[in-house]
């Protein structure tokens, strides 16, 4: 018994010892899992912190970007090729002023969609009476096809829309006038002709090189048997400025933040050094900056930006655009998240989706950023459905939001610096002597028209732009108003067609 008991004790001891050992193993496993988890998080947090630091835009740096913008604007106005900013002449020297009358059409081509607009103008004292917009996506395969195919497609859609429109109004117009908004860099030789300089935003139609874009469109319209005259060729920024000015005479510049980004503003002709002897009725001309190509070493550039550029169709081009516009913001965030996934495993086993370029669009990035639910349910849904990573914990969802925030905040603050750069160039930032005869500090009311899907659809982005303008300008920012126009790039082109044809005296 005793021995048995002893034996029994021994067994019990053995069992107890075995349990203790197992507990030790479990504890050790837990500890090592915690250590691993901690390390994973540490690496993930390190990568986010590094990214945030690389994207830093303290106000001092923003002011350097402002000054670099001014320097580059001067250089681009001094000579062709003098700067990465092309500072293109638009030949638009008068902006619509409200007395235009009649029915005009516009075609807006320049990114994800093309739009056909019909605008009915009532003449002096009345506003835009009616406006119709038809929006269609541009089939992907046409973006890299031939001029004939792309313009043929557009002309046939245009014809269809015009015919439907006239049928519903029961009236045709003898010679229809069209404002053509074409949002790629064009070297214009008049207000209604110009040669494409390069494609951007994923377009690449080789036989468009050196051809007059208006002639290409006009040819396609004639082939379709559509009696329509292309009266003006403008960039989307110029269209937006025109509509902004139509509604508010204090509008001096326009900025687009959509698939791409660009800006234009009203410049004095005597400041356009590269075009000696340029005379306009107004003494001014709208300059298309092509600011997407702006570059300065003061821009906060990270390894992700460098890699995005290396993998792009247009390497070393459009450096500013690649940090700012809708085509790229989601992609920058995806690159950061992918690196975190690979180096930290906080996303678990990641399938191939996160490694795919452009798998995360900017609108989805914005939706995640703006998710206000306590458990970040939208983030979970998008990560699951779009990136095919199931069930990420709340902590990881917060990390995703943080990455979106860093990408969007940097972009918005750089847009703000760009806008202040323009205002500084034209003496509306409160730093130079007042040109309006007012004492320094008392500034003119200044309006900048802003348009584009990214700006319109992403309220946190807009807030960051506003915040940064106030940080850079202080009290002067009280005189600066950013106004959003809707379909301004197209409507403005129709207004310009009207203004051009009625040939009234200029009102810039």
Instruction: Note the residues at the interface with ligand ADP (CB under 6 A).
Output: 110-113, 258-259, 326-327, 362-363, 366, 452-454, 457-458
With respect to ligand ADP, which residue has the nearer C-beta, 53 or 463?
463
Choose the contact partner of 457 out of ligand ADP, Mg ion, none; CB within 5 to 8 A by kind. Answer: ligand ADP
Q: Shortest Cβ contact with ligand ADP: which residue?
A: 111
Cβ contact 76:85 at 8 Å: yes
Choose the contact partner of 326 out of ligand ADP, Mg ion, none; CB within 5 to 8 A by kind. Answer: ligand ADP
Cβ contact 410:55 at 8 Å: yes
CB of 141 to ligand ADP, least distance (A): 17
Cβ contact 235:431 at 8 Å: no
CB of 85 to ligand ADP, least distance (A): 20
Choose the contact partner of 420 out of ligand ADP, Mg ion, none; CB within 5 to 8 A by kind. Answer: none
Choose the contact partner of 363 out of ligand ADP, Mg ion, none; CB within 5 to 8 A by kind. Answer: ligand ADP
Give me the DSSP letters along 339-364.
Answer: HHHHHH-TT-S--SGGGSTT-S-HHH
Region 232-271 residues binding Mg ion, contact defined as CB under 5 A? 236, 258
* Dist. CA 350–CA 346, nearest whole Å: 9
With respect to Mg ion, which residue has the nearer C-beta, 254 or 382?
254
Q: Would you call 301 helix, strand, or coil by DSSP?
A: coil
Residue 471 dihedral angles phi and psi, to the nearest 5°: -60, -40
Q: Where are the alpha helices (DSSP H) in 355-447?
A: 362-369, 377-385, 394-425
CB of 23 to ligand ADP, least distance (A): 52
Q: State the binding string over 210-239 for Mg ion (x if CB under 5 A, else -).
A: --------------------------x---
CB of 256 to ligand ADP, least distance (A): 7
* Dist. CA 431–CA 447, nearest whole Å: 17
In 330-349, which positions are buried (b, 16+ CB within 10 angstroms) versus exposed (e)? bbbbbbbbbbbbeebbbbee
CB of 236 to Mg ion, least distance (A): 5
3-state secondary structure 233-274: EECHHHHHHHHHHHHCCCEEEEEEECCCEEEEEEEEHHHCCC
With respect to ligand ADP, which residue has the nearer C-beta, 259 or 284?
259
CB of 344 to ligand ADP, least distance (A): 27
Give the residue among 500, 502, 420 at the shortest CA–CA distance from 93: 500
Cα 176 to chain center, whole Å?
32
Beta bridge partners of 149: none
Q: Would you call 482 helix, strand, or coil by DSSP?
A: strand
With respect to Mg ion, which residue has the nearer C-beta, 115 or 334?
115
With respect to Mg ion, which residue has the nearer C-beta, 214 or 493?
493
Choose the contact partner of 150 out of Mg ion, ligand ADP, none; CB within 5 to 8 A by kind. Answer: none
CB of 259 to ligand ADP, least distance (A): 4
CB of 392 to ligand ADP, least distance (A): 22
Residue 188 parent element (H or E): strand 186-190
Region 332-391 residues binding Mg ion, contact defined as CB under 5 A? none
With respect to ligand ADP, which residue has the nearer C-beta, 338 or 461?
461
With respect to ligand ADP, which residue has the nearer C-beta, 430 or 452?
452
Q: Which residues lie near Mg ion (CB under 5 A)?
A: 236, 258
């Amino acid at each position: 018994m005793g021995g048995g008991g002893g034996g029994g004790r021994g067994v019990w001891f053995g069992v107890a010892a075995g349990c203790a050992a197992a507990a030790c193993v479990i504890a050790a496993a837990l500890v090592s899992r915690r250590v691993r988890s901690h390390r994973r998080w540490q690496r993930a947090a390190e990568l986010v912190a590094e990214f945030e630091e690389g994207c830093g835009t303290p106000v001092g740096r923003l002011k350097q970007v402002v000054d670099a913008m001014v320097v580059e604007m001067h250089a681009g106005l001094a000579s062709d090729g003098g700067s990465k900013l092309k500072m293109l002449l638009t030949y638009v020297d008068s902006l619509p002023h409200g007395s235009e009358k009649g029915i005009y059409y516009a075609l807006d081509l320049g990114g994800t969609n093309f739009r056909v607009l019909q605008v009915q103008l009532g003449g002096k004292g009345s506003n835009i009476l009616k406006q119709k917009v038809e929006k269609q996506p541009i089939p992907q395969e046409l973006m890299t096809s031939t001029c004939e195919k792309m313009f043929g497609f557009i002309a046939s859609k245009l014809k269809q829309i015009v015919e439907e429109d006239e049928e519903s109004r029961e009236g045709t117009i003898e010679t229809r006038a069209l404002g053509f908004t074409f949002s790629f860099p064009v070297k214009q030789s008049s207000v209604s002709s110009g040669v494409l300089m390069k494609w951007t935003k994923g377009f690449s139609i080789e036989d468009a090189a050196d051809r007059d874009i208006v002639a290409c469109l006009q040819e396609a319209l004639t082939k379709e048997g559509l009696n329509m005259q292309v009266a003006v060729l403008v960039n989307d920024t110029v269209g937006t400025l025109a509509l902004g000015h139509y509604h508010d005479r204090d509008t001096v510049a326009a900025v687009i933040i959509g698939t791409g980004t660009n800006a234009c503003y009203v410049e004095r002709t005597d400041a356009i050094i590269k075009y000696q002897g340029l005379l306009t009725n107004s003494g001014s001309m709208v300059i298309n900056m092509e600011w997407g190509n702006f570059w300065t070493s003061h821009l906060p550039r990270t390894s992700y930006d460098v890699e995005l550029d290396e993998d792009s169709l247009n390497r070393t081009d459009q450096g500013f655009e690649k940090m700012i516009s809708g085509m790229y913001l989601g992609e920058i965030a995806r690159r950061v998240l992918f690196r975190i996934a690979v180096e930290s495993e906080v996303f678990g086993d990641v399938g191939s989706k996160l490694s795919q370029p452009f798998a995360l669009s900017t609108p989805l990035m914005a939706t995640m950023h703006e998710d206000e639910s306590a458990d970040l349910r939208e983030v979970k849904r998008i990560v699951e459905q779009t990136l095919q990573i199931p069930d990420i914990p709340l902590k990881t969802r917060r990390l995703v939001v943080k990455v979106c925030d860093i990408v969007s905040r940097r972009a918005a603050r750089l847009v703000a610096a760009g806008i202040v750069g323009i205002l500084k160039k034209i003496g509306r930032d409160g730093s130079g002597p007042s040109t309006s005869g007012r004492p320094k500090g008392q500034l003119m009311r200044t309006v900048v028209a802003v348009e584009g899907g990214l700006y319109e659809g992403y309220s946190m982005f807009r807030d960051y732009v506003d915040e940064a303008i106030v940080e850079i300008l202080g009290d002067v920012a009280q005189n600066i108003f950013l106004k959003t126009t809707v379909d301004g790039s197209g409507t403005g082109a129709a207004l310009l067609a009207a203004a051009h044809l009625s040939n009234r005296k200029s009102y810039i």
